[in-house]
Structure formats: C-alpha cells, structure tokens
Amino acid sequence: MSASTTGPAGPAAGPAAGFRGVLALAGTALPLYAFLARLPAALCPIGTLLLVNERDGIGGAGTVAAALWLGQALGGPVIGRLADRRGHRPVLLAACAANGAVLALLVRAALAGLPPAALAALAVAAGLTVPQVGPLARARWARLAGRDRALLGSALSLDTTLDEASFMVGPALAGLLAVTVHPASALVLAAVLILVFGTLFALHPSAPGPLAAPGGRDGVRLWSPGLALLFALAVLQGAAWSSANTGVNALAKSLGQGGSAGLVWAAMAVTSSVAGFVTVARPGPADLVARLRWTIGAQAVLSLPLLAVSGLWGAAAAVAGIGLAVAPHLIALFGLVERTGPAPRMGEAMTVVGSGLIVGQALAAAAAGPLAAAYGYRAAFAVSCAAAASSAVLALAAGGRARPGPRGAA
C-alpha cells in the first residue's frame, strides 16, 4: 500500500478533528474523486426512469429501475468482499470498466427499441457492477483515521454528507439534462463519471491492498448480532425514504404537477447535507449507540407531519424537517458498522449495510406504490411513518446489540 493505513497521530479532538483534520489524512483529491465517482449512483435510477418512461411509460420504467436496484443490492456485498480480498484497486478498476460499458449498452438498447425484458436484464447487470464507491470510501477513511475516534467520526460524517449532497445534485441534474439535452443524457454522464472519476478513486494512494485471505480462509466471520441489527435498521431507513418519495410523487401527480416532485424531494437532501456538515464541524457526543437512538427517534417524530400534508409546499416543509435527522442518523449508523464489523472484511460490512438501504427502498416502493394508487398519497406517507416508527422501536429495544465488542471480532 502506498498510503498510510493508520493515519497521522493527529489531534484527538477539537477543531482539527473536523474538516482540516479529515483533509490532512488524504488531501482534497480523495473526497473530490469519491463525490464525483458516487454521483452515478444518484444519476442512474432517475436517469433510467426518464429514459425508459419516454419510450415505454412509467410502468415499464419502474420495472427497469427496480431491476437496477435489485442488481445493486445483490452485487454490492460481492464487490465489497472482492475488494477486501483482492485490494480496492483491481476490483474497482474492473467494476468501473464493466459498469461504464453496461450503462452504454443500456442506453443503446433503449434507443434501439429492444424489448423491456432486455432492458431489465441490462439494468440488473448495471446494478451488479456498480463500483460501491461510497461504502469503500468509508472503509478507506476508517483505515486512514486509525485509532483516532474523533478524527474517524469527522471523516465518516464528511463522507456521509457527500453522499447526501450527491443525492441532491444527481436527480436535479438528471432532470435538467433530460429537459435540455436528451432523456439518455443522465446515463451517458453517469458512464463518463464512473469511467473517469471511478478510475481516479481506484488509483488514489489511499486504496488498500488485500485485507482478508483469498478464498475466505481467514477465520473471520462477517455477521454478528450487531451487524444484523444495523442491516435491519438500514432496511427500515430505506423503506422510510422510498415510501415518502412515493407519496411525494403521488401528491404531485394528483395536483397535476408531477415534474415538481424532484424539487420537493430535494428539500430533504438540502437540510440533510447541512446537518451533515454541522456534524463534521461539531461532532458531539462520542457514544454512537446513543446518537443512533436519538437520531432515529427524532426522524420518527419528524415524519409525522407527512400525514397532514395537503400541498407541495407542505410536503417540502415536511421532508425538509425529516432531512435534519437523516445525515446524523446515517453517520451514527455507518460509524457503528466500522466499530462492529470485522476489520479484515470492512469493505464487505459497509457494502452489506449499504445494500440494506437499497433493499428497503425496493420493498417499500413495491408496497407504497399500489397503496398510493388505491388509497391516495397519504397511504404512502403512512408506510413511511410506520417504517420510521418501527426503526425507532427496534433501535430502542435492541440498540445495545450494536455496541461494539472487541475490535475485529465477528
């Protein structure tokens, strides 16, 4: 490895554990590459919907987008495991090349009029080859920060905030490109970004070599009660997002303003990003279990105004309120993954929990969509509130299981 895996001795607390301390670990290039390389993850779902909807309508577009989610949920842990066993660099280079090529094939197939089944198959392949930049970036920060918990907290906070910012920029950019250039533009841009910045991220000196023995004979188990709990919380978080998003889209459509749904949903990303940057600057208490509990509880309470929403301004205000708890929640969640998952399989642990978010989104979309069609947008909002409340109950009842044991244990 060409980069330090322990990070500088660095200050343990105070301002240097914030932005300056994080940037001192690897410079500005790593967060920049990581942000631009993960932007395709936000561009591809909405880009797929826009491209296929133009040709086959929303029903066919939803099926192809769901296939993309399915592929990503299944492929994420596999890529994480390979990155741990073979090193980030070769695995990411191969994934970036494959993902860029499959996205190009998906665009070509859609424009050539191939049947929906062919598009769905290519979408699954696109999901399977997503390079998992976000989870692997978190694994890198964990190694760079070493034992400095304050610095690690700031690094994971910054990385999670970059995730939130990408999901604010991605959908807006995809919509703008679809209107001003072509419905395929978002997927073309995603392919270019992953080929260029995914490659730069792979080649960055922070990329670790193999951490686990090839063939999985290192004797370190991945799953533990704590990691299983964090995965379940991630599924519920994804479900809360997806059903709220479904409700926003159903509301906008019922008001004849379907194109406004993306702007309404962006309100959550804005407030979540702000909350994330505040968390980087002022990390707060170090007890991640306590932070996880109160942020999940806050999100459950902040979700309740969705049930009273009757217009787009009210919906924007409600999702903006929820956003105040989202980034702090995810920062605590992935911070606990770093402390709970086995060190030699950290990339896999991060991708498994990341896949939990995707699984929750897919399951909730499958449930909330038909409910909104049958009973109105408030039914989808009710699913979101139920998922958030279930997450809070689970965190309060079993949050102690996520408390880290000996480092690197299964």
CB neighbour class for 285 (10 Å; exposed up to 12, middle 13-18, buried from 19): exposed
Using N-to-C axis directions, what is the helix angle for 149-180 and 133-145, rounded to 10°? 160
Average pLDDT, the chain: 84
| Residue type (1 letter), 204 | H
Cα 91 from Cα 179, distance rounded (Å): 35
Q: At residue 11, does pLDDT exceed 90? A: no
pLDDT at site 123: 93
Region 362-372: what's the mean pLDDT? 83
pLDDT above 70 coverage of the chain, percent: 88
| Burial of residue 231 (number of CB atoms within 10 Å: 0-12, 13-18, 19+) | buried
User: Where are the strands (E) in 208-269, listed by range?
Assistant: none
- pLDDT on residue 259: 65
Spatial distance between the Cα atoms of 380 and 243, rounded to a whole number of angstroms:
5
Give the mean pLDDT of 365-391.
90
pLDDT tens digit sequence for 144-190: 887 787 788 788 888 888 887 887 788 778 877 877 888 899 999 99
Q: How far apart are CA 104 and CA 337, in angstroms?
A: 34
This prediction's pTM: 0.80
Q: What is the DSSP code (8-state) at residue 304?
A: G
pLDDT computed for residue 137 by the predictor: 92
Q: Which of 185, 55, 75, 187 is nearest to 131 (CA)?
A: 75
Pairwise CA distance, residues 269 & 282, whole Å: 20
Average pLDDT (287-308) is 93
Q: pLDDT digit string (tens) for 323-350?
A: 999 988 998 898 899 888 888 888 899 9
Q: Percent of the chain, pLDDT > 90?
A: 42
CA distance 216 to 214: 6
What is the predicted pLDDT for the residue at 153?
A: 78
Q: Is the dihedral of CA 286, 34, 77, 87 positive or negative?
A: negative
Nearest to 150 by CA among 304, 20, 293, 297: 20
Please say if the pLDDT value at position 85 is more than 50: yes
What's the confidence (pLDDT) of residue 311?
A: 93
State the average pLDDT over residues 210-236: 79
Q: Summarize the confidence of residues 38-63 as an average pLDDT.
A: 80
Amino acid at 189: L
Sign, CA dihedral 327-294-361-220, equals positive
Mean pLDDT is lowest, of 62-66, 131-135, 398-402, for 398-402
3-state secondary structure of 218: coil
Winning range, highest mean pLDDT, from 26-30, 264-268, 300-304: 300-304
pLDDT band at residue 285 using 50, 70 and 90 as cut-offs: low
Give the pair of three-digit tokens for residue 235. Answer: 């599924």
Residue 99 is classified by DSSP as H
Query: Hey, what are 55's tokens?
Result: 């040709």
Across the range 349-362, mean pLDDT stands at 89
Q: How far apart are CA 176 and CA 135, in angstroms?
A: 28
**pLDDT exceeds cutoff 70 at 365:** yes
**How far is the C-alpha of 350 from the C-alpha of 200, rounded, in Å?**
21
The pLDDT of residue 172 is 75
- The residue written with tokens 């009973």 in the block is 375
Structure confidence at residue 321 (pLDDT): 96
Q: In this structure, what token pair is assigned to residue 193? A: 């970004």
Above 80 in pLDDT, residue 314?
yes
User: Going from the N-terminus, what domains does the chain have, and what CATH number goes with each?
Assistant: 20-218 (1.20.1250.20), 219-410 (1.20.1250.20)
Q: At what angle do helices 312-340 and 346-375 cross, to 10 degrees?
A: 150
Contact present, 243 and 237 (Cβ < 8 Å): no
Name the more confident of 259 and 348.
348
Q: Is the pLDDT of residue 410 over 50?
A: no
Task: Tell me the mean pLDDT in the region 20-28.
Answer: 82
In this prediction, residue 9 has a pLDDT band, given cuts at 50, 70 and 90, of very low
Q: Which tokens is 374 given?
A: 């049958």
Give the burial string for 148-180 (b: 16+ CB within 10 Å, else e).
bbbbbbbbbbbbbbbbbbbbbbbbbbbbebbee
Q: Are 143 and 5 in contact (CB under 8 A)?
A: yes
Model confidence band, residue 319 (pLDDT cutoffs 50, 70, 90): very high
Give mean pLDDT, residues 291-311: 95
In single-letter form, the type of residue at position 30 comes to L
